[in-house]
């Protein structure tokens, strides 16, 4: 997928899975696929199933096909299983970490925040959402951005986000530290995903 800028709930309806944790994605009023014939059931093929699983993850983490292929190549070269390595690569993107910290409601907001330079990693300004954090990295909010992020945290509280245990955070200081890499069962998505189908899609 390219850098999709249209209505995000349309993607949720098309995939039949909430691609964000916000209420309008989790509780979609119209469950049919978008389009004139959305009420009809689509044909289920092996390729279609693999593509759908890939799209769910791509939309959830807001990554493009080229990025996804790069992550798959890195995951395949990893010493751990490909699905486990892929999970870690996606979860440790800076924009996703900002979302996990409850500093942004959605991945799209987190991406924009990072691109606008609101955050520092180990004291240095970072404006690339795809930057991967490492164990020991300290992420903090720039001084001039603290009120903006604090206001955002208040809105995410209603969504029910919980900061994962692999990140230690201090909302008062707006500072966080990556304590370790996420475990498999700590990667909580708002939908079920079959990583085997994703691996099959890229290795077919």
The phi, psi pair for 97, rounded to 5°, reads -65, -40
C-alpha 118: how far from chain center: 18
Superfamily of domain 8-89+189-203: Ribosomal protein S4/S9, N-terminal domain (1.10.1050.10)
Q: How far is CA 110 from the centre of its chain?
A: 9
Domain 93-180, classified CATH 3.10.290.10, yes or no = yes
Of residues 101, 110, 112, the one with CA closest to residue 153: 101
- Can you give the pLDDT at residue 34? 56
The CA-CA-CA angle for residues 61, 63, 58, to 5°, reads 60
Pairing relationship of beta strands 124-126 and 175-178 according to DSSP bridges: unpaired
Residue of 20, 8, 1 whose CA lies nearest to 106: 20
Per-residue pLDDT in tens (0 to 9) along the chain, 204 residues: 446 677 888 888 888 888 888 878 877 665 665 554 455 566 778 998 999 999 999 999 999 999 999 999 999 999 999 999 999 999 999 999 999 999 999 999 999 999 999 999 999 999 999 999 999 999 999 999 999 999 998 888 767 678 999 999 998 999 999 999 999 889 989 999 999 999 999 987
Rounded distance, CA 163 to CA 159, Å? 12
Is the whole-model pTM more than 0.85?
yes
In which element (H, E) is residue 151 found?
helix 146-157
Tell me what pLDDT residue 51 has: 93
pLDDT at 40: 58
Q: Do domains 8-89+189-203 and 93-180 have the same CATH topology?
A: no
- Determine how β-strand 119-121 pairs with β-strand 138-141: antiparallel
Would you state the pLDDT for residue 36?
45
Q: Provide the pLDDT for residue 25.
A: 83
User: Residue 72 and residue 79: Cα distance in Å, rounded?
Assistant: 13
Give me the residue spans of the domains in the chain: 8-89+189-203, 93-180
């Amino acid at each position: 997928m390219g850098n999709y800028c249209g209505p995000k709930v349309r993607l949720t309806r098309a995939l039949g899975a909430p691609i964000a944790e916000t209420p309008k994605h989790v509780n979609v009023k119209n469950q049919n696929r978008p389009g004139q014939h959305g009420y009809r059931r689509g044909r289920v093929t092996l390729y279609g199933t693999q593509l759908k699983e890939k799209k769910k993850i791509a939309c959830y983490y807001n990554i493009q096909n080229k990025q996804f292929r790069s992550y798959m190549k890195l995951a395949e070269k990893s010493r751990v299983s490909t699905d486990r390595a892929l999970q870690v690569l996606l979860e440790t993107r800076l924009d996703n970490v900002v979302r996990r910290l409850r500093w942004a409601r959605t991945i799209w907001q987190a991406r924009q925040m990072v691109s606008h330079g609101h955050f520092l990693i180990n004291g240095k300004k970072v404006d690339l959402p795809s930057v991967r954090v490492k164990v020991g990295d300290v992420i903090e909010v720039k001084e001039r951005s603290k009120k903006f992020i604090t206001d955002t945290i208040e809105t995410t509280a209603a969504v029910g986000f919980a900061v994962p245990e692999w990140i230690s955070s201090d909302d008062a200081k707006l500072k966080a530290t990556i304590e370790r890499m996420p475990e498999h069962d700590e990667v909580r998505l708002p939908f079920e995903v079959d990583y085997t189908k994703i691996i099959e899609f890229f290795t077919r």
